[in-house]
Amino acid sequence: MKITKNIVEKHGLKLDEFTKIKNLLKREPNLLELGIFSAMWNEHCSYKSSRIHLRNLPTKGKCVIQGPGENAGVIDIGDDDAIIFKIESHNHPSFIEPYQGAATGVGGILRDVFTMGARPIALLNSIHFGSPEHPKTKSLLNGVVSGIGGYGNCIGIPTIGGETKFDNTYNENILVNAMAVGHAKKNKIFYSKAKGINKSVVYVGSKTGRDGIHGASMASAEFDENSEEKKPTVQVGDPFTEKLLMEACLELMKDKSIISIQDMGAAGLTSSSVEMASKGDLGIELNMEKIPCREDNMTPYEMMLSESQERMLIILEDNCEIKAKKIFEKWDLDFVIIGKTTNTNNLTLKFKDKVIGEIPIDTLSSKAPVYERKWSKTKIPEKKTQLKDLKKIKLQDALLKILSSPNHSNKDWVTNQYDQMVMCDTVEKSGSDSGIIRIHNKNKGIAVTVDSSANYSKAHPLTGGKQIICESWRNLISVGAKPIAITNCLNFGNPESPKIMGEFAETLQGIKEACEFLDYPVVSGNVSFYNGTNQKNIYPTPVIGGVGLIKDLTKKINHKLKKEDNLVLLIGKTFGHLYQSVFFSEIHSINDGPPPEINLKNEKNNGDSILRLIEKNLLYSVHDVSAGGLLLALAEMSISSNLGLKIEKPKKLLNLVEYFFGEDQGRYIIEISRDNLSKVKGILKENNIFNEVIGTVQKDNLEIIDELKISINDLYKINNKWYNNY
């Protein structure tokens, strides 16, 4: 078949990229080979637009065992225990087919974790939808939430945290980011690097179908009005088969049979085979007629590009095939030797004893295009809106309106669809600053959180990048965890636009600066570009998954108030920053000005001091102050605990709206006993931490003296109003 311009473009390749392929091969590729290049050179697999910026991220630390470059990141949490975790996007598939798109997103991220020898112990997600009034939002929301719950619940992994957000920017391109966390022993980590010549290459798991063909390429292109036609590129998931595959893999991993193992995720058999061979500087030969297929007359092209789920590629040590086969047959899974490793450094594909494809491995990996795209800086926006010009509103009215808004309403309607307690090691579930999972049969645990802040990143990407790292850091601190490392999912629009590429580059710079200062390295992640439809791109949306360690679970803490007459302190200075705030957007429909400034020194100092107070058992509860400001944080503490607060007005002259709704960073609310006030003040003074006593815990009502008084019961009803009526 003659490769035409139209065929090249249908494969998501530029004409100059096709020319490069011909130069590398010193000939024209056939259709099968073109499909393989399309899969490996797309944005989703090659990171061709992001790679030069990702290299700058800090990826090493004293607790890091494995950073980016593997299926997932690995950190050391002591006692020979390791935590393996990663977050990835499944945005495009979920917009086209929400249930299966979200479900297979969960399945894919779970395989990334157990491929490395870890038993998954927790799931989280970050899901973003368009305006609730948009005609597609309700069905997309229902489908995605059902897909996440359906897959996670069936496989038996608790979903213990996440976020659900709404904004017009996602009307035509929703975001579905899934995170998985697993536990393994440090000496039982498995990697994807192939080793040795003439080693058996084994296909295990489900049979290959025609679902998901060109899925990775679809995820590397903008949508248009014909996006519905791309439904065949969405994979179909089966959580029950994934459970069998997980158990079979973990059983085989108990001995030394496995040389390397790789999930068949994006680009399916193509990416798994190429990545294994590339990392090992080897070749790989596959016999296409041996691949188990569930549909008749599948072509090698379809087999190589299918993204059918619940499949793995394993390279085995010599003489381990029979034993391994017995394990997979016991779990009722396919086990077929489909090829071998070679010394050719080529991907060699055979069908009925004929070579039908021959491609040097390096042309698909190290020689894939790397673009240094033009990008432009984002100026700090002007402060156009003046507070004195805004229509005056009572604190109580503003609070109730925010609490009843889609983004700040109670999300139990969502989280109750997820099994949060299965496996019986969940210590803190959705609704807390971070979820907490016990390390099985031990008194230590890990805290996990997922956070994003698109409005800050849109206003000023550099600051937004810093902020979201600090938000993740504070959420872990607030449950008593020492932050260790992050994974990131970077959701952006079309990288061919200098403006959008600038948003990406500057966000990465902000993430870099914050991670370096806080000693909070990046160990895994994912980039999702081309999020938009008809050249209307989403806001830059970096999503951060953070993991922290709680060495002694008796020291864990949460944001629920504990005891009447306890004192409530605000840690960190309040300046009253309202630009890009929830107050501006929800009350006045204003979205201008700069995000709040980030002082990394204060963030670290304040967070370390909070951990010290927790360690000394001086705190009853902690909550970070983030979106919505002080008053929303106080309301969340009251609602969650069914206890009230009596709050004083600020002693210094500061506009009440600025004080209670300003989103200054680096702040926490802590609850302490009166008897410990001097001890707490002493430690805070010692560390030069600004603090002020702002009130006391009381029964029944949230109250600001002479300004606001509302019962906890009414707060609860208001907070549940939107979801109950949607």
**Does an H or E element contain 32, and which?**
helix 31-41
Q: What is the CA radius of gyration of the chain?
A: 26
Q: Are the CB atoms for 43 and 267 separated by under 8 Å? A: no
Beta bridge partners of 125: 162, 178
Tell me the three-class secondary structure of 61-122, residue by residue.
CCCEEECECECCEEEECCCCEEEEEEEEECHHHHHHCHHHHHHHHHHHHHHHHHCCCCEEEE
Beta-bridge partners for 88: 178
Q: In sequence order, what are the residues at sequence separation of 6 or more whose Cβ sits closer than 8 angstroms to the Cβ of residue 258?
A: 190, 252, 314, 315, 316, 317
Q: How far apart are CA 39 and CA 28, in angstroms?
A: 17
User: CB neighbours of 106 closer than 8 A, spacing ≥ 6?
Assistant: 123, 125, 147, 148, 151, 152, 178, 180, 237
Length of the chain: 726
How far apart are the C-alpha atoms of 569 and 637, rounded to whole Å?
Answer: 13
- Residue 340 pairs in a beta bridge with 200, 285
Beta carbons within 8 Å of 594's beta carbon, 6+ residues apart: 380, 381, 383, 459, 460, 463, 579, 580
Selected catalytic residue, list 11, 44, 128, 183: 44
CA-closest candidate to residue 569, choices 695, 683, 673, 705: 695
Could you give the CA distance from residue 95 to residue 102 in angstroms, rounded to a whole number?
9
DSSP sequence for 498-560: HHHHHHHHHHHHHHHHHHHHHT--EEEEEEE---EETTEEPPPEEEEEEEEEES-GGG---S-
Active-site residue 44, yes or no?
Answer: yes
- C-beta neighbour count of 716 within 10 angstroms: 16
Hunting for tokens 């229509």 — which residue is that?
A: 391
Instruction: Note if 577 is an active site residue.
Output: no
Q: Are 485 and 439 in contact (CB under 8 A)?
A: no
The helix (run of H) or strand (run of E) holding residue 363 is: helix 361-364
CA-nearest of 585, 499, 507 to 537 is 499
DSSP H or E stretch at residue 488: strand 482-491
- Among residues 11, 53, 90, 408, the one annotated as catalytic is 90
Catalytic residues: 44, 90
